[in-house]
Amino acid sequence: MPRSPIPLSRRCGKRPIRVSFEFFPPKNDEGEVALWDAIKRLEPLRPDFVSVTYGAGGTTRERTQATVTRLVRETALKPAAHLTCVGASRDEVDGVVRDYAAAGVRHIVALRGDPPGGVGSAYAPHPEGYQTTAELVRGVRRNGDFEVFVSAYPERHPESPSVDHDLDVLQAKVDAGATRAITQFFFDNEVYFRFVERARARGIDIPIVPGIVPVQNFKQTAGFAARCGASVPNWLAERFEGLENDPATRRLIAAAVAAEQAIDLLDRGVRDFHFYTMNRADLVYATCHLLGMRPEAEATPADAQLRRAANG
């Protein structure tokens, strides 16, 4: 009988994968400590980049900038700063981009952004601002030597009439110079593979990196999913059923769910993974371990300086 090939998740040795981690800027001192604990725990995994979100309506501008510049100063990590078109003129946004360039940041995640009233409220572009994400991508490229990442929505953006429309928007962002797309999170891997297939059929050839959210808290994740148009399959809800008062088992289930999703993606050819960490390291660290990542010895400040120089 012919032997079936051994899946990558079961092969030993180094695997050709890249991971990235997303954090949000902390609101207070306690949050700052939690964020930096998570960063320090995940840094030895040598992610390809780490990204820092920009609050809805541009509300975290200073905190995002402070976190990104601290990452440049104090770590060997490559930070990618999220930036949105919301609530700011082109000049203001360009100023932020130039500040990032001057601080040594080389990666931007360019987004339209959610309206200040939050997801679901009507979106109106700033009269003097970038009108679309594609325009923002061009603006970022004009203002510095950046690699620009953008979003993608395997299950349709809540404001979009169809996945086809989302693909038109993604194409426009690629035409404007985006080099990588990161997806909204999803739980059913088929949804991701179908989306990638449709994108490839239209000639969109940039990496489309799956965004993975480990379920730290099922109720909260389900609420967030409902707002951003990600579906929560019944089988997922069932896995957390009856565990409302059992946090220890919930954590084990969450680890199993994240492992199952990541290993299936790996064995079906995915090599780039973006984790929404929610500023917590444990589940993400365990999932990366299962994917085959191992920590490297902590970089000394001199190593970090050398690596930053090499990264440009």
Q: Which residues of 259-287 are buried (b: 16+ CB within 10 A; e: fewer)?
A: bebbbebbeeebebbbbbbbbbbebbbbb
Q: Please, what is the minimum distance in Å from the beta carbon of residue 24 to ligand FAD?
A: 8
Cβ proximity of 279 and 34 under 8 Å: yes
How far CA 99 is from CA of 93, 106, 128, 190, in Å, comes to: 10, 11, 20, 40
How many Å apart are CA 3 and CA 252, to the nearest integer? Answer: 33
- Nearer to ligand FAD by Cβ, of 76 and 277: the residue is 277
Binder among 92, 147, 159, 188 for ligand FAD (CB under 6 A): 159
Token pair for 47: 């992610």
- DSSP secondary structure letter of residue 150: E
Q: Judged by CB under 6 A, how many residues of this single chain contact ligand FAD?
A: 23
Does 113 engage in binding with ligand FAD (CB under 6 A)?
A: yes
What is the number of residues in the chain?
Answer: 312
Can you name the residues that pair with 149 across neighbouring β-strands? 109, 180
CB 47 within 8 A of CB 273: no
Member of 116, 126, 160, 264 binding ligand FAD (CB under 6 A): 160
- Alpha carbons 39 and 150: distance in angstroms, whole number: 23
- Name beta bridge partners: 152: 183
Query: Of all residues in this chain, which one has the CB nearest to ligand FAD in the complex?
Result: 160
> Whole-number minimum distance, CB 67 to ligand FAD, in Å?
12
**Which residues share a beta bridge with 52?**
23, 81
Q: Is 247 left (phi over 0), alpha (psi -120 to 50) or beta?
A: alpha
In degrees rounded to 5, what are phi and psi of residue 84? -120, 170
**Nearest distance from C-beta of residue 101 to ligand FAD, angstroms:** 19
Draw the binding track, 116-145, toward ligand FAD (x: CB under 6 A; -: no contact): -------x--------xx------------
**Residue 22: active-site member:** yes
Give the residue with the Cβ less far from ligand FAD, 160 or 189: 160
Subset of residues 25 to 44 that bind ligand FAD, contact rule: CB under 6 A: none
Residues between 275 and 304 that touch ligand FAD (CB under 6 A): none
Nearest 5 degrees, angle CA 180-CA 185-CA 190? 90
State in angstroms the smallest separation of the CB of 166 from ligand FAD: 4
Closest CA to 110 of 70, 67, 147, 143: 147
Region from 27-35, 39-47, 107-115, 291-299 binding ligand FAD, contact rule CB under 6 A: 107-115
Binding characters for ligand FAD, 44-83, by CB under 6 A (x = yes): ---------xx-x-------------------------x-
Decide: is 184 part of the binding site for ligand FAD (CB under 6 A).
yes
Q: What's the CA gap between 106 and 145, in Å, rounded?
A: 7
CB of 286 to ligand FAD, least distance (A): 22
x/- letters, 191..230, toward ligand FAD (CB under 6 A): --------------------x-------------------
Active site residues: 22
Q: Which residues bind ligand FAD (CB under 6 A)?
A: 53-54, 56, 82, 84, 109, 111-114, 123, 132-133, 151, 157, 159-160, 165-166, 169, 182, 184, 211
